[in-house]
Amino acid sequence: MTLSYLVKRILIMILTVFLAVTLSFILIRSLPGDPAERYYGDPRLPEEIKEEIKAVFGLDKPLITQYFIFIGNAFRGDLGVSYTYRRNVVGVILERLPWTLMLTVVPTVLSMFVALWIGTFIAFNRGKKFDRFMRFFAFGLNSVPTFWLALLLVMGTGFYLNIFPLQGMFDPLESGMARVISILHHAALPWITLFIVGMPSFAIQVRNIALNILGEDFIITAKAKGLREQEIRRKHVLRNALGPLFSLLTLRIAGLVGGAVLIETIFSWKGMGLLVLEASKNSDYPLLQATVLMTIVLVILANFLADVLQAVFDPRVIYT
Amino acid sequence: MKKYRKVLRDIWKAPEGKVSLFILVLFVFLAVTADWISPYDPYDITQRGFPLEAPSKEYPLGTDGFGVDILSQIIHGSRVSLTIGFVTGIGIAFMGGFIGVMAGTYGGLADLFSMRAVDFIMVLPGLPIMILLMTTLGSSFWVMVMIFVLFGWASVARVTRAIVLSERKRGYVEAARCAGAKKSHILLRHLLPATYSILFVTAAFAAGGSILAEAGLAFLGFGDPRLVSWGKMLNYARTYNAMVLGAWWWIIFPGIAVFLTSFSIMMLGVALEKTFNPRLRERDR
């Protein structure tokens, strides 16, 4: 890991965020209607008060000045005021973020461990029945709409069998330890859904990584030394798979945060995804814009982290 | 022409190809003849039965909460899904192919800018941005197609560019250049044909993916309000509490339709990949 590589990656990252902020500013501003009007609510307000509101939000200045103010504010973490919540959008989003992370990180990490085990196993037993089955299963799952699978699971286990609650995040009547258990009970089904959807394709990715490693010279050496298969799996394959694996993991979490809208809708899970939908239904443009921007920043950060981790774990990565 | 017939025969020989072609042809048939074969017209509000009727002889897949026949809705909904898959598949292949070939052939600034754009688009989280765009631009069929193409072309461009770059170093291209062929001639006669196979395959995968994405967006309420689609059926099923009312047929059948179409198109992609690239068959055996 050289310093120049790190600096270059950070510069590209900042540039990407900058581009995303600019594009979203252009998109939101090209909408018809005066953005200040949204805050007055009542058009009969006296002119001076309207002017004052405009001045507070900087809407009386020329568009290009507004753009620079917006950029400056965005990098300072101020993305405007929500029409519906009437407060800083970043505050609203930060309240929702932990719930989305909780929903997505747990099943992803869990499926990583299971996929690691299954993936290396089928790589060693390549072409056998179980390998073929897993690959077909993962491929088929690609075509199953995740939200539909979630609906079926809710219907089966929640409605007919009555094991899990149908929706929501916790029982508001419970408090203390009982509330924690209630949250876990409510999170179980979304976790199971995301695990079922994510694990098989993860295992196939691990399998492909492992197959690449199995073709390397040091594996032949290890076999020639007479190491047992289990030892090769643990000492050589797993250790070398860590780099690419970490990058897969961060990318997956990023993808899930983006795709959380559907799962959160089905389970009425009040995270970032549902916030996007809510803001869209209420035409709350600052909130919508900010939530999407925050998701973009999160994904870009995850990408950055993935690249750096890969470089740390695998010194052979070429820095370009 | 002979070449294409051989490709078709190869697809038919692969087991994936047979199954996927069979399902696809069935759905295309449903979509084309929807007006004649569907038992009821889902757009006609006079052709309604009782709400939430379980599957019976009269309503083979039951009725939804408004008394509309589910089977008729699925038959008419196939039009939306298949058209969106077809149009976005072609759009993505064209746009991605064009930009990829241009970047690979001409290099320089065009290459730099287009590949930076590819990097940018590929890290973006799709769904939230699609919602932002559909909120600001309005939800209609063509806005959706445009958004899918806008997000889909990037990966295709990257792959075609890589193919063009490796193909350019091949002997026959070098020979053509030595023989004094113009750049445009090499581009049209040698480099472009080399990318056709991968464009067909990616178009198939893109089509399958966009059918799923359409269903997801329509489920969230961003479908074209004038059209019956599978995602919208599921959206209504959720909004009007089909589950609590015990109307499992309202939830299960539209999802099966989405799965079958998307799955068959993706399988077609795999079959295409195998016929174009026999080496793959060996590797994955």
Region A288-315: mean pLDDT is: 83
Encode pLDDT of A215-227 as tens digits.
888 888 888 888 8
B160: how many CB neighbours lie within 10 A of its CB? Answer: 28
Q: What is the model's pLDDT at position B280?
A: 56
User: What pLDDT band is residue B67 in, cutting at 50, 70 and 90?
Assistant: confident
Q: What is the model's pLDDT at position A317?
A: 63
Q: What is the model's pLDDT at position B107?
A: 82
Region A243-271: mean pLDDT is: 83
Q: Take residue B280 and report the two structure tokens written for it.
A: 């793959």
Measured between CA atoms, how close is B168 to chain A, in angstroms?
Answer: 23
Chain A residues within an 8 Å CB radius of B132: 24, 27, 276, 280, 288-289, 292
Whole-number Å distance between alpha carbons of A106 and B19: 37
Contact flag B219-A127 (C-beta cutoff 8 Å): no
* Amino acid letter for position A290: A
Q: Take residue B45 and report the two structure tokens written for it.
A: 């509000």
Q: What is the model's pLDDT at position B190?
A: 84
Mean pLDDT of chain B: 87
Q: What is the model's pLDDT at position A41?
A: 66
> A135 CB contacts (<8 Å, ≥6 apart)?
A204, A207, B284
**Which has more confidence, B222 or B273?**
B222
Closest-CA residue to A287 (of A21, A31, A83) = A83
Q: What is the model's pLDDT at position B154?
A: 92
Segment 101-140 of chain A within 8 Å of chain B by CB: 127, 135, 139-140
* Location of structure tokens 């799965």: B259
Sign of CA dihedral A238, A242, A248, A249: positive
Chain A residues within an 8 Å CB radius of B221: 281
Region A283-291: mean pLDDT is: 87
Whole-number Å distance between alpha carbons of A205 and A116: 9
Chain B residues within an 8 Å CB radius of A31: 136
Contact flag A16-B120 (C-beta cutoff 8 Å): yes
Q: What is the model's pLDDT at position B96?
A: 94
pLDDT at residue B1 is higher than 80: no
Count Cα neighbours of B124 within 13 Å in the Cβ-side half-sphere: 29
Measured between CA atoms, how close is B192 to chain A, in angstroms?
Answer: 29
State whether residue B121 sits within 8 Å of chain A by CB: no
Region A85-93: mean pLDDT is: 88
Contact flag A151-B234 (C-beta cutoff 8 Å): yes
pLDDT at residue B285 is higher than 50: no
User: What pLDDT band is residue B45 in, cutting at 50, 70 and 90?
Assistant: confident
pLDDT at residue B109 is higher than 50: yes
Nearest residue in B to A26, CA atom: B136
Q: What is the model's pLDDT at position B42?
A: 87
Closest residue to B243, CB basis, from A146, A159, A285: A159
Segment 265-304 of chain A within 8 Å of chain B by CB: 265-266, 273, 276-277, 280-281, 283, 285, 288-289, 291-292, 295-296, 299-300, 303
User: What pLDDT band is residue B191 in, cutting at 50, 70 and 90?
Assistant: confident
- Rounded to two decimals, the ipTM of the complex is 0.89
Q: What is the model's pLDDT at position B153?
A: 93
